[in-house]
Structure 1
Amino acid sequence: MGMSSDHLPPAGGPASSTDDSSAPGVLYRNGHVYSPGDPTADALLVRGGTIAWLGETGDAPAADRVVDLNGALVTPAFVDAHMHTTSTGVTMLGLDLSGTGSADEVLRRVADFAAGMPGDAVVIGHGWDESGWSVRQPPTAVELDRAVGGRRAYLSQASVHSAVVSTPLLVQADQSLAGWNGEGWLRRDAHHAVREVAMGSLTVAQRREAQSVALRHAASLGIAAVHECGGPGTSSEDDFTSVLACSGQGLPEVYGYWGELGAAAKARELGAVGAGGDLYADGALGSQTAHLRVPYLDADTSGHGYLSAEQVARHLVDCTRLGVQGGFHAIGDKAIATVMAGFGLAAAEVGMDAIRDARHRIEHVEIVDKQLIAGLVSFGVVASMQPAFDRLWGGEHGMYAQRLGVTRSMGANPIAALAGVGVTLAFGSDSPVTPLDPWGTVRAAMTHHNPVYRVGIRTAFAAHTRGGWRAVCRDDEGVLAPGAPATFAVWDVEAVADGLPVLLGAGAEDPVPALPVCRRTVLRGEVIFDSEQA
């Protein structure tokens, strides 16, 4: 049953005024409100951009407008702590290759998509993953040439750290670049070079449409804020600043991280909150470029480290002194160890307290041992993690087991080990690497392939809500309480237990409940998504 209301504030309406005391009050009542400070609450009053009151419906104060929740659940809205907005929108609007079962299927989809496109167009696709194919080889450049009729084509692997490209793009990458391959599967610097060309082919209108589509989709899933990760090799400055310009314009807020070494001042000039995110210390497991202490099981390599401890330290010192949050992309244990060594050097120069207060972060943090986890604690590092990585590729039979062997695969993404010692967790999707799916992310953290690394729903939910706000140093956000920002989502749920949706069956043989469906997303009192107006 939908919500009933009288004169609802419109989706995409004007932002609330700074002084909320005179703003009209909107009362949401007769639902379930997740507020650990008031477990029996079933109503809340929003005035302007602030929660003015929270409690039981029978005690609710008078309001200018009333929304009957009809039993719906109200929770803090989600934050996606690692996203690539333009790429997400391009994938949604274009060629999604996730789920393809072979190189031949990729070529068929590409040929169908390219048919009728202008000859000078760039065919952009994403999501193929050869690890599940019977023949684990992607198409070659020559095969891709035939499928796209000689056009330029860029097809990123699921990890977005490698791609297969057609010959017209292949020849635009200098053969001396690391990762160049004449068959067309490019990694490392060669991949970064052709990605810049492919994404740079988008017109301003195409880029804006992709960004709007991606952010509207996020809002429809109860996401009120995203952390946009850009930088050289990932996105252009124009793309990055245009995503930031979308922030709060009837859409989720956008907090930007510019991943360029030694560019703390530049990040601030671009409007970013941090000089980090996708500042690469290594690559990805799917592309066999994450930097490991022990070589890959299925390739004669240990991956690649892109930074030294001294470079890490200098970047952190610059960020700390400028008051800009720093950070790095680090997946493999060798890369994370290098970053931790850099933290140690930086702390020796500017002091441990300054490093901890800066709340620097590391993205992904997939392969770590106890010593590395202890380093995260010591330096106050935020761990930006993606539980869907384990859901999609972990366990005894997934891609990680192919790359690493079962023991290392089952030890990857040790969420509970980090949560248990107090590391601040901020969950995200890395979309389009994995889809925007916040409740699916929460469930993935609860059902890690290794039971030792599972967390409960409260921990997982907090990491995907309040953790994302803490990661951008906004500690008053992500909780429903009087005086807090009115940023929340309204959900249709099958069942509620201890204030949150039931996401798992009672027993192993019981059916898995459907994920909650978003009715409405509210950002500081402004409705940015309403299912009845969608």
Structure 2
Amino acid sequence: MTNPSTLYCGGVLHCPAEPSATALLVRDGRIAWLGGDADAPAADRVVELDGALVTPAFVDAHVHATDTGLVLSGLDLSSVRSSGELLASVSAFAAGRPGDAVVLGHGWDESTWVDPRLPGAVELDRAAGGRRVYLSQASIHSALVSQALLAACPEAAGVPGFDASGWLRRDAHHVVRVAAQGSVGRAQRVAAQRVALAHAASLGIAAVHECGGPQISDEEDFTGLLALSGAGLPEVYGYWGELSGAARARELGAVGAGGDLFADGALGSRTAHVSRDYVDGEGCGHGYLNAVQVRDHLVDCAAHGMQGGFHAIGDAAISTVLAGFAAAAAVLGTDRVRAARHRVEHAEIMSKRLIAGFVEYGVVASMQPAFDRLWGGAGRMYESRLGLARSLESNPMGAMHGVGVALAFGSDSPVTPLDPWGSVRAAAAHHSAAQRMSVRAAFAAHTRGGWRAVHLDNEGVLALGAPATFAVWDTPVGVERGLPVLQADDPELRGPADPTPLPVCRRTVLRGEVIYEEGIS
């Protein structure tokens, strides 16, 4: 018995193969018909679009769902602009909570503060009334922690990245993060995951790629999230970042052994492995893997029929990863390496040589356009870390797209917010004009690119027989060639701070099922 059919009519469809289409019929989870309203077939239900735009739904190719949900329902520090404001936020949040509670917060970014002085562990103790405090920096690669939490994790004092001030990086951060996240009970985790996925659906996102692993989450958190996939919520495609852990990734239900498998850290914490010293600190960051480990991981992935991947931000780290790809190709053959569509997350500091390596080995670049919007350009964090010239060369998605590198866009939420149209505009309005993409190409990277990254090549389009996975939008500034207008008419207003209103999601449909409808919670 077939499910009831639904006709969506009276809209504007992003459908290059049928540019005049104004209606589509959904039957059994697929698009059964496309065309004009006058020719529409009968259906069990009719949805009048009232001129709204219909596009393929978005895919966010890099998220951390539990952390996102905890931020959405907890202590969000992204707007604090001083040490005092941060302490006041902690104090207000901690008030009334049990004395044994752990205060979890996220999103502070000292590069946006006039005075970048950070509060110390003792100050955090005072603000939280003696409670344990864990506050991750925007990059999630370092954190401020209280004296009480340091005391509960004495093993952190003996590993790289420890600082008695309470600002922890590298291995020390990982130790304390595990302890802090372990304080979150199962019910709270599930609630946070549901909050994150429901929020994604409200933004026209029908699928997310969860990047988990031993240093990011635990196995219960990961498998619990996968169990929510598609159950009235966006689908979840999981990556488990454990070195040479392809067999375990498969057992956990992951689609790949990669994601946040760290080859280095992050620019915000000066732990990304770059080839030239940071201009505002000593050294070149830290590389966590060598080429032999990368090779062995890719060979292990091949043995288990799994996609692999790595987190690599700095050019030195990416160079190491590509050396490992070359070594793996010597064992497996280049064609087999390319066919796997292995991924690199972030790929922020690139060169022509490194971009050529992505092309040679068919590497998917999972990138976050909001990184440039928030931290690129003159006077921002990238310039303070790298100098202006190097900062303007970062996140070169336009150059990569131009030579055929496969792109999949995402947010790395909660590092940056879930904001798909904002990310599309950020890619089109890169601080460096040489790295800008067309809105159409950026939209494809945030929709079809995400599906292709998980080997679902026929998804992400409005086409006859394709899965009925789409979003319905109000477009305040209108539609141009099947896509919303995202940039101001005045060239002087265009750029990362463009004031043009973004589209608002009215409905999100996943394989024919409505997973979000405006006004219905």
Equivalents in 1 of 2:241, 2:169: separation in Å? 18
**Partner residue of 1:28?**
8
Q: Which runs of 5+ in 2 are unaligned?
A: none
Q: Is the 1:279–1:328 Cα contact (8 Å) retained in structure 2?
A: yes
**Counterpart check, 1:72 vs 2:55:** no
**Partner residue of 2:435?**
453
**Partner residue of 2:101?**
121
**Partner residue of 1:84?**
64
**Counterpart check, 1:222 vs 2:222:** no
Q: Is the 1:76–1:489 Cα contact (8 Å) retained in structure 2?
A: yes
Q: 5 Å matches for 1:273-288? A: 273-288=255-270
Equivalents in 2 of 1:150, 1:302: separation in Å? 36
**Counterpart check, 1:499 vs 2:486:** no
**Partner residue of 1:142?**
122
**Partner residue of 1:520?**
507
Equivalents in 1 of 2:156, 2:518: separation in Å? 49
**Higher mean C-alpha deviation, range 502-511 or range 276-285:** 502-511
Residue 157 of structure 1 and its aligned partner are, at CA, apart by: 0.4
Residue 505 of structure 1 and its aligned partner are, at CA, apart by: 1.0
Residue 320 of structure 1 and its aligned partner are, at CA, apart by: 1.6
Residue 55 of structure 1 and its aligned partner are, at CA, apart by: 1.1
**Partner residue of 1:426?**
408
Q: Is the 1:77–1:224 Cα contact (8 Å) retained in structure 2?
A: yes
Q: Number of residues paired by the alignment? A: 514
TM-score, normalised by the number of residues in structure 1: 0.95
Equivalents in 2 of 1:422, 1:167: separation in Å? 50
Residue 136 of structure 1 and its aligned partner are, at CA, apart by: 1.4
Equivalents in 1 of 2:499, 2:189: separation in Å? 38
Q: Is the 2:31–2:467 Cα contact (8 Å) retained in structure 1?
A: yes
Q: For 1:362, what is the secondary structure of its paired residue?
A: strand
Equivalents in 2 of 1:532, 1:61: separation in Å? 29
Q: Is the 1:503–1:512 Cα contact (8 Å) retained in structure 2?
A: no
**Partner residue of 1:6?**
none
**Higher mean C-alpha deviation, range 382-391 or range 131-140:** 131-140
| CA offset digits 1:102-140 (Å, max 9, x no partner) | 111100000010011101100000000001212212211
List structure 1 segments (4+ residues) > 3 angstroms apart after TM superposition: 509-512
Q: For 1:174, what is the secondary structure of its paired residue?
A: helix
| CA offset digits 1:127-162 (Å, max 9, x no partner) | 000012122122110110110111110000000000
Q: 5 Å matches for 1:336-375? A: 336-375=318-357
Residue 458 of structure 1 and its aligned partner are, at CA, apart by: 0.7
Equivalents in 1 of 2:378, 2:352: separation in Å? 22
**Partner residue of 1:530?**
517
**Partner residue of 2:399?**
417
Residue 509 of structure 1 and its aligned partner are, at CA, apart by: 4.5
Residue 90 of structure 1 and its aligned partner are, at CA, apart by: 0.4
Q: For 1:250, what is the secondary structure of its paired residue?
A: coil
Q: For 2:515, what is the secondary structure of its paired residue?
A: strand
| CA offset digits 1:467-501 (Å, max 9, x no partner) | 00000000010000000000000000020000000
Residue 287 of structure 1 and its aligned partner are, at CA, apart by: 0.5
Query: One-letter code of the match for 2:408?
Result: A
Q: 1:312 aligns with which of 272, 294, 317?
A: 294
Equivalents in 2 of 1:533, 1:186: separation in Å? 42
Q: For 2:158, what is the secondary structure of its paired residue?
A: coil
Equivalents in 2 of 1:56, 1:301: separation in Å? 62
**Partner residue of 1:203?**
185
Equivalents in 2 of 1:203, 1:412: separation in Å? 39
Residue 174 of structure 1 and its aligned partner are, at CA, apart by: 2.7
What percentage of residue pairs aligned between the two structures are identical? 66
Residue 434 of structure 1 and its aligned partner are, at CA, apart by: 0.2
Q: For 1:419, what is the secondary structure of its paired residue?
A: helix
Q: Which runs of 5+ in 1 are unaligned?
A: 1-18
Equivalents in 1 of 2:88, 2:439: separation in Å? 41
Q: Is the 2:156–2:176 Cα contact (8 Å) retained in structure 1?
A: no
Q: Is the 1:227–1:256 Cα contact (8 Å) retained in structure 2?
A: yes
Q: 5 Å matches for 1:162-177? A: 162-171=142-151, 172=153, 173-177=155-159
**Counterpart check, 1:299 vs 2:287:** no
Q: 1:246 aligns with which of 208, 225, 228?
A: 228
Equivalents in 2 of 1:104, 1:70: separation in Å? 49
Residue 98 of structure 1 and its aligned partner are, at CA, apart by: 0.3
Equivalents in 1 of 2:161, 2:334: separation in Å? 37
**Counterpart check, 1:257 vs 2:257:** no
Q: Is the 1:395–1:410 Cα contact (8 Å) retained in structure 2?
A: yes
Residue 176 of structure 1 and its aligned partner are, at CA, apart by: 1.5
Q: Is the 2:69–2:193 Cα contact (8 Å) retained in structure 1?
A: yes
Query: One-letter code of the match for 1:516?
Result: P
Query: One-letter code of the match for 1:175?
Result: A
Equivalents in 1 of 2:141, 2:165: separation in Å? 17
**Higher mean C-alpha deviation, range 170-179 or range 269-278:** 170-179
| CA offset digits 1:55-83 (Å, max 9, x no partner) | 11111111111111000000000000000
**Partner residue of 1:403?**
385
**Counterpart check, 1:46 vs 2:33:** no
Q: Is the 2:411–2:418 Cα contact (8 Å) retained in structure 1?
A: yes
Equivalents in 2 of 1:512, 1:29: separation in Å? 31
Residue 302 of structure 1 and its aligned partner are, at CA, apart by: 0.4
Equivalents in 2 of 1:468, 1:87: separation in Å? 21
